[in-house]
Amino acid sequence: MSGRTIIVIVISFLLVPFGAKADATERNSTLQIYLPREASVEDEVVKLGRVGIIRGAESLVAKADEITLGRFSLPGQELIVDRQTILSRLAGSQMPTSQVSLTGAEKVTVRRQQRTISGADLVKQATSFLRKIPVYASVVQFEPVQMPPDLIIPHEYKDIKFGLGFIGNNTSNRARVKITVVTDGKEAGMRQVSFRLKYDCRSAVTLTELDAGSVICPENVKIVKVLSDRPEQAGWKPPYGLVTRGKLAPNTVVGLDKVVTPPAQAVVKRNQNVVILIETPGLLITATGQAMQKGHVGEYIKVRNVDSRRVILAKVNADGTVRPAL
């Protein structure tokens, strides 16, 4: 009885290590790869070791780590890697797919680690640049025509600088800025930002309803500041003394298209006695005349000489005298 027990123990001792060694060998010859749904990498070239978790023999793992799955060619690009692609790349590297065990997701979405410079940040940079240009000192708002696209900078770039330049325009209500992004001394991207310019301008606004022919004065209009696409006209002044072309409702901006200059008052009235001036070098002759029609400054009217009764054509002067048209 004691002899049989010893034999069984010895046989069992010999068999157990042999089976354990066989299992270990099988595990070491199998490459186990776990795939996540998403992965983020730093480099431009995507390698299997940066995407999945690889277990197995050290030599197999080292070889699988360096297998290339793809390459990023555009900023913000995503790569989709499925199991079939991975098995194909392994087979191409002389690694038997029968010894590969894939677990986890069916496919992996791979993104490159990157820095995003938003369109709003680019607009801020361009606006700050324009405010330093003297010609835009009177601009109160820089309104972007369109938000520029975001700019994607690869993760490995650390030193990021902005170069800004003014792009000339032929209009006073537009401005364009070119923004160049330089990373580690190299140009990484460029954007252009276009702006509509807004100015503070003074305008006269009616306080009450005005009939046609009303004279503009401080009692019937107020002067306010409004946003305009154009800068205020040089020498602007309130339209006091001008006359409305038609009826104006309350709170109407009184533009030059809504008012006219009132007709000038006649300097000379019909049948009014006037002084006729005849002036030559070293000689001034005056005579009394009678205006046969009314006249404004600079107009020519008919005047009858009181003494000779002769009718002449004379030009009206600002002081009410007339000068014969010789």
**Cβ–Cβ under 8 Å, residues 292 and 304:** yes
Instruction: Give the model's pLDDT for residue 265.
Output: 73
Backbone angles phi, psi at 74, to 5 degrees: -135, 145
For 268, the 3-state DSSP assignment is strand
Instruction: Give the model's pLDDT for residue 230.
Output: 87
Q: What is the pTM of this model?
A: 0.53
Instruction: Give the model's pLDDT for residue 24.
Output: 47
Instruction: Give the model's pLDDT for residue 183.
Output: 83
Which residues, 6+ apart, have CB-to-CB distance to 313 below 8 Å? 300, 301, 302, 303, 324, 325
Instruction: Give the model's pLDDT for residue 297.
Output: 84
pLDDT per position as a tens digit, 286-321: 899 999 999 988 899 999 999 999 999 999 988 889
Angle at 270 between CA 264 and CA 272, to 5 degrees: 105
- The C-alpha atoms of residue 144 and residue 126 are separated, in whole angstroms, by 10
Instruction: Give the model's pLDDT for residue 195.
Output: 94
Instruction: Give the model's pLDDT for residue 318.
Output: 80
Instruction: Give the model's pLDDT for residue 156.
Output: 61
**Cβ–Cβ under 8 Å, residues 212 and 206:** no
Q: How many other CB atoms are found less than 10 A from the CB of residue 298? A: 11
- The C-alpha atoms of residue 263 and residue 243 are separated, in whole angstroms, by 9
- The C-alpha atoms of residue 197 and residue 139 are separated, in whole angstroms, by 6
Residues of the chain with pLDDT under 50: 1-16, 18-26
Instruction: Give the model's pLDDT for residue 301.
Output: 94
Domains and CATH numbers, the chain: 24-112 (2.60.480.10), 116-198 (3.10.129.10), 200-260 (3.90.1210.10), 273-324 (2.30.30.760)
Lookup result for tokens 């770039």? 157
Helices vs strands, H then E, count in the chain? 5, 22
